[in-house]
Amino acid sequence: MISESSLEKLKILAGAAKYDVSCASSGTKRNNTNAGIGNATAWGICHSFTEDGRCVSLLKIMLSNHCIYDCAYCINRKSNDIPRTSFTSEEIASLTIEFYRRNYIEGLFLSSGVLRNPDYTMERMVAVAKTLRTEHRYNGYIHLKAIPGASAQLVADAGRWADRLSVNIEIPTENNLKLLAPDKDFKSVFEPMKIISTNILESKEERRNHRNAPLFSPSGQSTQLIIGATDDSDQTILKLASALYSRRDLKRVYYSGYIPVNKYDNRLPMLNTPPLLREHRLYQADWLLRFYGFRSDEIVNAQNPNLDLDLDPKVTYALRNPQMFPVDINTADPLMLLRVPGIGTRSVPLIVMARKHQRLNSSHLQKMGVVMKRARYFITCNELRSQNIQDLKPEIVRQLLLDKKPIGTDDAVQLKLFYPMMPALR
Amino acid sequence: MNVFSFDNTFEGLLTLVFESYRQKQFPDEILCGEGSQNVLFGATNTIATNVLKAERVWKGIISHSSEENAHRIYRVFLSGLPDTPLLLVNYIRLIIDSPKNEETNFALLVVVEINKLHQKVCSEAHRINGFVRFQKTSEGSYFASFAPLYDVLPLCIPHFHDRYADQSWIIYDLKRNYGFWYDLKNVSRVVFDDLKVNSQNGQLHTSLLAEDEKHFQKMWKQYYQCICIQERRNDKVHRQHLPKRFWKYLPEKGVI
Ligand code: SF4
């Protein structure tokens, strides 16, 4: 039974976990077995939205906010004088069940400060997941944070019970990481990541041979990078992200605009507001990497190490590569259609299907959700040609696109795209 | 001008399609519900719902397009908007009369309209899946009620049936006054005349609630409040994703 004092604990430990950005649970299909409780649906469900507009899908909470480490960017660092408390494994398990039964949540996302040492902490986290799966016969979603430096055995145990594991890199270069988090290095982060990806691959392989072989972190793994706490460029960040997607097979990389929680620490920049626009552009670029077939060096490179904050990275790409446009809507390869600003992953299949029935013109495109005010400069279709990027110069198109966009609207549309439509996975 | 009326059931609408082909008379106007005679239009062709005729139209749709398209038509029907029946009849006629499958011809306005409405119905159902809030009763079963924009409960039930297989529950549509009840074995449709529910917030009368129910609502509200990052507050996006009409049914947004 959960007591009144748990209300206070909840306040502290949920508050402590909130800076871990985003979001939902999805990508797992865990069927409800033995008439137990719960399933994990392939598409995550948002159960609520916070006033900052984020999807609430999981009970995102810390087992404890005690920590022996002193990371400069973290509210829970040991040198901060803040109220500290811990839940027991059973308390977290039953709170999860009570919330889940009321349809408040899709599952649990558990992290923790480092108590005593990484293994001691990891053991307690694994115990929560095990209790839920075995004693409560819970089949809902579980995401566990792997503690940097935890042993291979414990990471492997965690993957048996969890749907997803994550190790947060937080700082994209090792020098900066060591500067801000003296107790961590790249090895302590990338080791567990490697163990997880090896285990995932092995389990997939085994399940190909035996259908009932145990699952291992079936929704894969993810990580998070803090944006704007260091001077690392978008090129560094996206290169790292793209390597993680291809070599470690990560499901998601999350970007979290740095929020100055420890204003007194002068190793960190003074920011009045978190760099939300930059974070947003990084998510757009990440989207291009994962769903649009872009390589990271097509988006940012030595000449352009940082994303253009004024325009979406796909527009920037098109303006830098005018020789590839205009694209003929009625004949172009779907991959090329995807590269046209204003045409998205939703409209490409519609265009490809519809152009089998008849030749398409701009009013058709509009109906299919193509944003013509952007696309018009980069396409030709079945009508008198209008001025495109070849007639105008890229600089002029750039100006036209900037002027066309009332401040804020574009962001609202995109945010809608990123958050609820495709719930981000953690 | 051809005016048809039907009983506002899906089978009724399919029967209407069957009858219009048989009579070679297609509707210009469709009236919903029995007794919805409108003197202005003069004579009305009143359709008597017939399951067998409906079945034939259903199969016809599948053979001219796809099973998914037939289900799409059903989901669009659930939108219950005044213009929907006529839109659907026109769409079904297009599907049946065309030699090719036209369901993906997005250059046609009716196809686009159908898909837009379909999207709306599906997203309402998806929202309901997330925003349903069960209250635990003193008997240990779970109750939820609210008023969805469209009649989407039938679309949501399979999800709840799968997820909450070991708890008995009722999900009730206050606007349409019916719901579904799962008794650990079967799901059945129920109508209550004397529901002890506060229609302002969907909450059951306190005497019916489990002892710790309010406590967990409080815990949830506490959780919800302390995960918001004030530095990132964005009311516009908040309301866009969590439309105000849902707020009163959500313990985290209301007064407990
Ligand atoms: S180890 Fe984690 S909880 Fe501890 S100070 Fe570093 S970031 Fe914060």
Residue A172 CA, ligand 1 centroid: distance in Å: 16
Say if the Cβ atoms of A35 and B235 lie within 8 Å.
Answer: no
| Confidence category of residue A38, pLDDT binned at 50, 70, 90 | low
CA distances to A373, B103, B115, B140 from A334, in Å: 20, 20, 22, 54
Instruction: Please state, as a whole number, how many other Cβ atoms lie within 10 Å of the Cβ of residue B42.
Output: 9
The answer to whether residues A353 and A330 touch, using CB atoms and an 8 Å cutoff, is no
Ligand 1 pocket test: pick from A13, A61, A69 the residue with the most ligand atoms within 8 Å of its Cβ: A69
B105 touches chain A (CB under 8 A): yes
| Confidence category of residue A247, pLDDT binned at 50, 70, 90 | confident
Tokens at residue B143, please?
A: 């109750």
Co-location of A202 and A321 in the same domain? no
Assign A15 to helix, strand or coil: helix
Residue from B227, B230, B240, B256 whose CB has the most chain A CBs within 10 Å, to mutate? B227
pLDDT of residue B228: 81
Report yes or no on A84 lying in a domain: yes
| Confidence category of residue A414, pLDDT binned at 50, 70, 90 | very low
- Give the separation between CA B195 and CA B198, rounded to whole angstroms: 9
- Over residues A74-107, the pLDDT tens digits come to 888 999 999 999 999 999 999 999 999 999 999 9
Nearest chain B alpha carbon to A272 = B231
Say if the Cβ atoms of A32 and B238 lie within 8 Å.
Answer: no
Residue A268: partners with Cβ closer than 8 Å, 6 or more residues away: A72, A73, A180, A229, A258, A260, A262
Tokens at residue A276, please?
A: 């939300």
pLDDT of residue A219: 85
Cβ contacts (< 8 Å) between B226 and chain A: which residues? 10-11, 14-15, 18
CA distances to A164, A177, A218, A246, A423 from A221, in Å: 6, 21, 9, 13, 15
Alpha helical stretches, state H, A214-371: 234-247, 276-291, 296-299, 313-320, 334-338, 347-357, 362-367
pLDDT for A117 beyond 60: yes
Ligand 1 in reach of A159 Cβ (< 6 A): no
| Confidence category of residue A35, pLDDT binned at 50, 70, 90 | low
Co-location of A212 and A104 in the same domain? yes
Domain boundary at A216, A238, A257, which? A216
pLDDT of residue A408: 42
Ligand 1 in reach of A69 Cβ (< 6 A): yes
Co-location of A212 and A320 in the same domain? no
pLDDT for A239 beyond 60: yes
pLDDT of residue A366: 87
Report yes or no on A423 lying in a domain: no
Domain boundary at A200, A216, A232, which? A216
- Give the separation between CA B190 and CA B176, rounded to whole angstroms: 12
- Give the separation between CA B131 and CA A419, rounded to whole angstroms: 16
Say if the Cβ atoms of A354 and B107 lie within 8 Å.
Answer: yes
Say if the Cβ atoms of B164 and A47 lie within 8 Å.
Answer: no
- Give the separation between CA A144 and CA A159, rounded to whole angstroms: 8
pLDDT of residue B183: 94
Please tell me which of the candidates A45, A54, A412 has its beta carbon nearest to residue B236: A412
- Over residues A204-238, the pLDDT tens digits come to 888 888 888 888 888 889 899 999 889 999 999 99
pLDDT for A32 beyond 90: no
**Domain definitions of chain B by residue range:** 3-124, 132-249
Residue from B119, B134, B156, B226 whose CB has the most chain A CBs within 10 Å, to mutate? B226
The answer to whether residues A84 and A119 touch, using CB atoms and an 8 Å cutoff, is no
Report yes or no on A236 lying in a domain: no
The answer to whether residues B211 and B205 touch, using CB atoms and an 8 Å cutoff, is no
Co-location of A14 and A125 in the same domain? yes
Tokens at residue B26, please?
A: 């297609």
Report yes or no on A343 lying in a domain: yes
Ligand 1 in reach of A389 Cβ (< 6 A): no
Q: What is the helix (H) or strand (E) element at residue B173, kind and residue range? A: strand B169-173
- Over residues A175-215, the pLDDT tens digits come to 999 999 998 889 989 999 999 999 998 888 888 888 888 88
pLDDT for A327 beyond 80: yes
| Confidence category of residue A263, pLDDT binned at 50, 70, 90 | confident
- Give the separation between CA A60 and CA A75, rounded to whole angstroms: 16
The more confident residue out of A120 and A410 is A120
Nearest chain B alpha carbon to A356 = B105
Closest by CA position to B6, among listed B44, B57, B60: B44
- For chain A, percent of residues with pLDDT exceeding 70: 87
| Confidence category of residue A20, pLDDT binned at 50, 70, 90 | low
Closest by CA position to A189, among listed A244, A128, A268, A129: A244
Give the HSE-up count for residue B156: Cα atoms under 13 Å, Cβ half-sphere. Answer: 29
Buried b (16+ CB within 10 A) or exposed e, A287-317: bbbeebebebebbbeeebeebbeebbbbbbb
- Give the separation between CA A113 and CA A111, rounded to whole angstroms: 7
Least Cα separation, residue A302 to chain B (angstroms): 32
Ligand 1 in reach of A169 Cβ (< 6 A): no
Mean pLDDT across chain A, nearest whole number?
84
The more confident residue out of A405 and B232 is B232
Please report, as a single letter, which amino acid is at residue B198: N
Ligand 1 pocket test: pick from A76, A169, A256 the residue with the most ligand atoms within 8 Å of its Cβ: A76
Ligand 1 pocket test: pick from A21, A64, A70, A71 the residue with the most ligand atoms within 8 Å of its Cβ: A71
Co-location of A208 and A343 in the same domain? no
The answer to whether residues A237 and A227 touch, using CB atoms and an 8 Å cutoff, is yes
Ligand 1 in reach of A252 Cβ (< 6 A): no
Tokens at residue B211, please?
A: 């002892």
CA distances to A168, A391, B122, B174 from B147, in Å: 41, 54, 16, 5
Ligand 1 pocket test: pick from A13, A21, A74 the residue with the most ligand atoms within 8 Å of its Cβ: A74
Instruction: Please state, as a whole number, how many other Cβ atoms lie within 10 Å of the Cβ of residue A399.
Output: 12
Report yes or no on A223 lying in a domain: no
Co-location of A59 and A191 in the same domain? yes
Least Cα separation, residue A97 to chain B (angstroms): 11
Give the HSE-up count for residue A50: Cα atoms under 13 Å, Cβ half-sphere. Answer: 29
**Structure-token match 């990271």, residue found:** A296
pLDDT of residue A39: 66
Nearest chain B alpha carbon to A53 = B238
Residue A171 CA, ligand 1 centroid: distance in Å: 13
The answer to whether residues A258 and A170 touch, using CB atoms and an 8 Å cutoff, is no
pLDDT of residue A162: 93
The whole-angstrom distance between residue B124's C-alpha and the CA centroid of its chain comes to 8
Residue B179: partners with Cβ closer than 8 Å, 6 or more residues away: B145, B153, B170, B171, B172, B173, B189, B190, B191, B192
Cα dihedral value B63, B65, B70, B73, nearest 10:
-140
Ligand 1 in reach of A113 Cβ (< 6 A): yes
Co-location of A318 and A206 in the same domain? no
pLDDT of residue A45: 84
Strands B3-6 and B29-32: parallel
Nearest chain B alpha carbon to A359 = B107
Cross-strand partners of A40:
A30
Question: What phi, psi does B136 have (nearest 5°)?
Answer: -80, 130
Least Cα separation, residue B67 to chain A (angstroms): 18
Co-location of A9 and A123 in the same domain? yes
**Structure-token match 């106007």, residue found:** B29
The whole-angstrom distance between residue A88's C-alpha and the CA centroid of its chain comes to 29
| Confidence category of residue A33, pLDDT binned at 50, 70, 90 | low
Report yes or no on A304 lying in a domain: no
pLDDT along chain B (256 residues), means of 10: 90 96 92 64 82 95 94 95 94 93 87 93 93 94 94 94 93 94 93 86 90 92 86 82 89 80
Counting the structural domains of chain A, the total is 2
Ligand 1 in reach of A375 Cβ (< 6 A): no
Residue A65 CA, ligand 1 centroid: distance in Å: 9
Residue A410's domain comprises 313-418
Please state the rounded mean pLDDT for residues A147-170.
92
Instruction: Please state, as a whole number, how many other Cβ atoms lie within 10 Å of the Cβ of residue A395.
Output: 9
